[in-house]
Amino acid sequence: MQLPPLFTEYTRALLGEEEYNSLATALLEAEQPVSIRVNAQKCTDSSSVISHSSLNKVPWAERGFYLNQRPAFTFDPLFHAGCYYVQEASSMFVEQALKRYLPGRPLAALDLCAAPGGKSTHVRSLLPDGSLLVANEVIRNRAQILAENLTKWGHPDVVVTNSDPSDFTPLEHLFDFILTDVPCSGEGMFRKDETAISEWSAENVEICWQRQRRILTDIWPCLKPGGLLVYSTCTYNTKENEENVRWLCRELGAEVLPLDVPAEWGITGNLLVGEDFPVYRFLPHKTQGEGFFLAVLRKAGEAEETASEDISMMQTGRMNADRQSAGKQRGKKGNGGKASSGSAFGKEQLAMVQGWLRDAEGYTLMPEGQTLAAFPTAWLPLLTVLKQHVKVMQAGVEVAGVKGKDCIPAHALAMSSLLRQDAFACEEVDYPTAIAYLRKEAVVLSDTAPRGFVLLTYRGFPLGFVKNIGNRANNLYPQEWRIRSSYVPEQPETLGNEE
C-alpha cells in the first residue's frame, strides 16, 4: 500500500517532515485499533457485555472501550441485541461537545449525515431526557442501515429521514443541536479502508470542501439562535477542516467554542497558519484511533428556553394547522383511543398493545396500514412539520403488526426501552439457539415454554419474538436482518480475552 504522492506532498508541508513520517508509518504499518461503545440504556454495568475488566477505556467516551482483538461481531448475539455498537474511537469525541455545552432541558437534535449510525446512537444516548433525535441520510440504502442500527439501539424518541440537506432549509429555527459529520475526502480512513486511498485525488478534495459549504449553508437556517452545531470530518487537510470553520465564522457568524482536552489524550489543535480558533484533530500516530477532525460552533443569538413540545417559534407559516392536525391525531390514535379510519387495529388491540409498553402515557399509537408505531406525544407537532418537507422513513418505534386475527409484537419493540418485558412469557436460550434464531431458522423451545408469543432472551437481554406452536416456534426475526453466513462458531464470541 502506498499513499498518494499529492497527499504526501501536501500533508508533509502541513505537518512537517518528522510529524509526517510518523503519520505515514502509522497509516502503513500500525494495526487498526478496535473499539466499541456500550449501550448504557440496556447495560447499566459494562461487565455484562465485556468479559475482561482490564480492557482500556476510550478516554474521551465514558462507555467506550478498546478491544484486544477483533472478534466476529456477526456471531455475538449481544451485538444484534443492541448491547453495544462497534465504533471508531476517535469519532466518540463528539461526546465531549455534548457534555460541555448542551443544556439539560429536552432538545430537538438533528444528525444530518447520519449513516451508518455510530454517532446517531451516541448522540441519542447523550441527549437530555425528553429530547428527540432526527437522524437523516440522503442515500436510500444507507438510510435503511441507519434505521436498523437505531432500532437495535432501542431508544424510542427517534425519527429517521431520507432527504437532501436542502430539504431541511425551510425548517427555520427548528433544532437546538445539529451534528454535521459531512462527506469528505476520507484521508482519515486510509488505514481502515484501502479503497479510500485509491479513490483519493486532489480534485476530490476540491469537490468535497465546496459540497461541505453547500451542506452547511442549507442547514444553518434550521439551527435555533444560540444553538450548537458540531462540524466533523475524517480527513486531514485544512481545506475541508479549518478553512471551512473559518468560513462558517466569517460568512454565517458562527462562534467557535473550546473544549477541555487533557494533554495526555494526544489531540492536535489548529494547523491553519495565522489562525488560533479551537479545533480538534486526531492523528493516528498520536491518538489510538483513526483520523478525525471536530469543531464546536454556536449560532449568534439567545438560546430559546422553550419546552420540547413548544415549537411556536418556527417560521413555517403552518404552525396553527400543524397543532390542529396533531390534536386530531391524539383524538384518533391516542392512548386507549379508537383507531383512525381505515386502521387495521381495533380498540381492544390498541388497549392490548398499550399493555406491552412502559410509560405508555407519554406516547401516541399511530396506525399505518398493517403496522402500529408509538411516538412521543410531546413531539407530534414537530413530526407533522417534518413530514411536510422531508421523507420520514421511521418515526418512533414500531410496536405491533396485524396478520389475520393476530396482533403480532414487532421486533423493534423487543429492542426498545419501551418494552414491558413482564407483558410476555420469556425464554432464556443458549448460544446455538440464539444463533439459529438470528439466522431466521425455526427454533425449538423447552417443554415448559407456553404457547403463543414468547420473548427470547440471551444472557438476560431480549433478542426478539417467536410464536410457539409446541413442536417448534415460528421465528419472527426480520428476514432482511438475518445472519446469512453458514459458519458456526465452536464457542460464543466474547469481547476481550478470558483469563
Residue tagged 479551537 (cell numbers) = 278
CB 205 within 8 A of CB 239: yes
Torsion, Cα of 99, 103, 109, 114 (10° steps):
-10
Cell of 62: 465514558
CA distances from 325 to 268, 334, 381 (A): 50, 13, 8
Residue tagged 506532498 (cell numbers) = 9
CA distances from 130 to 174, 259, 419 (A): 16, 25, 17
The H or E element that residue 295 is part of is strand 292-298
Phi, psi of 32 (to 5 degrees): -80, 130
For 3-105, where are the E strands, in sequence order?
A: 34-38, 64-67, 84-86
Describe the crossing of helices 140-153 and 118-126 by its angle, rounded to 10 degrees.
Answer: 40
Q: Of 83, 208, 234, 407, which one is the catalytic site residue?
A: 234
Instruction: Measure the CA–CA gap between 387 and 393, rounded to whole angstroms.
Output: 10
Beta bridge partners of 150: none
* CB-based burial label for 275 (10 Å; 0-12, 13-18, 19+): middle
417-421 LR contacts (CB < 8 Å, sep 24+)? 417/41, 417/42, 417/154, 417/155, 417/156, 417/358, 418/156, 418/357, 418/358, 418/359, 418/360, 418/363, 418/374, 419/356, 419/357, 419/358, 419/462, 420/355, 420/356, 420/357, 420/358, 421/455, 421/462
Is 113 a residue of the active site? Answer: no
Q: For the chain, give the number of residues.
A: 499
* Catalytic (active-site) positions: 234
